[in-house]
Amino acid sequence: MIIGGAAAAALVVALDAWDTDDQAGPKAIFLLGIGGIGVGVGLVQLAWPPRPAAPGDARNAFERAPWPQKVLWVIGGFAGIVAVAIAQATVNL
């Protein structure tokens, strides 16, 4: 998630810098937010990785996680959104 989110954020920054007609602004904000969520949740998962699934358990990692872990993943995603918003404001996209 970290690598995918960072790649998405870097790609959007590169595409937005290349596109000079200012039409990519809303798309860049949305995609940078998605990238920030991926980076934030991925970093939290490094600190507290999801439990492996039991045989026959079709639930995803979020469904198997205890509620404190879910809360931390949500906070990590929110922190990622805030971080890319600050980065976008300072880079002046």
Spell out the per-residue pLDDT of the chain, length 93, in tens: 667 667 766 766 665 555 555 555 666 667 777 777 888 888 888 888 888 888 999 898 889 989 999 899 888 888 888 887 777 777 654
Q: What is residue 83's three-state secondary structure?
A: helix
The confidence score (pLDDT) of residue 67 equals 92
Looking at residue 68, its pLDDT comes to 92
**Cα gap 18→63, rounded to integer Å:** 40
- CB-based contacts of 80: which residues, under 8 Å, 6+ apart? 5, 35, 36, 37, 38, 39, 40, 41, 43
- pTM score of the predicted model: 0.66
Residue with tokens 């890319």: 84
